[in-house]
Amino acid sequence: MRPQANRRAPKRSGWPFWKIAVVLYPFTAGAAAVNVFFLGLIGQAISLPALSPGTSVLIGLALGLPLAWVATRWVERLIEHAESGEG
């Protein structure tokens, strides 16, 4: 049985993962809040109660953290691809 490859990205220069995530968090939380609010508006069409903007913001703040993690992973892969000189 082969040992599992290390899934962590190789060391690179530049910002660490957590700094990129902190920078992206306001954008991901804001995008999540807007999408949740619009989802609430769509829900009214099928007789669901309306979501207030405040509730949408709170849900967006909660969803922003995992979304920032996903966005940071994506950005790091883009950086690695650019630094590798492939494609």
Query: Where do the H-state alpha helices sit in 1-87?
Result: 17-44, 53-84
Q: For residue 71, give the 3-state DSSP assignment.
A: helix
b/e string for 42-58 if b means 16 or more Cβ within 10 A? eeeeeeeeebeeeebbe
Question: For the segment 8-30, what is each residue's pLDDT rounded down to a tens digit?
Answer: 655 667 899 999 999 999 999 99
Question: For the segment 44-65, what is each residue's pLDDT rounded down to a tens digit?
Answer: 999 999 999 999 999 999 999 9
pLDDT at 8: 60
Q: Which two tokens stand for residue 67?
A: 């979304």
pLDDT at 65: 96
Higher pLDDT, 3 or 57: 57
DSSP-assigned letter for residue 85: T
* 61/32 Cα distance (integer angstroms): 8
Model confidence at 2, pLDDT cuts 50, 70, 90, reads low
pLDDT at 19: 96
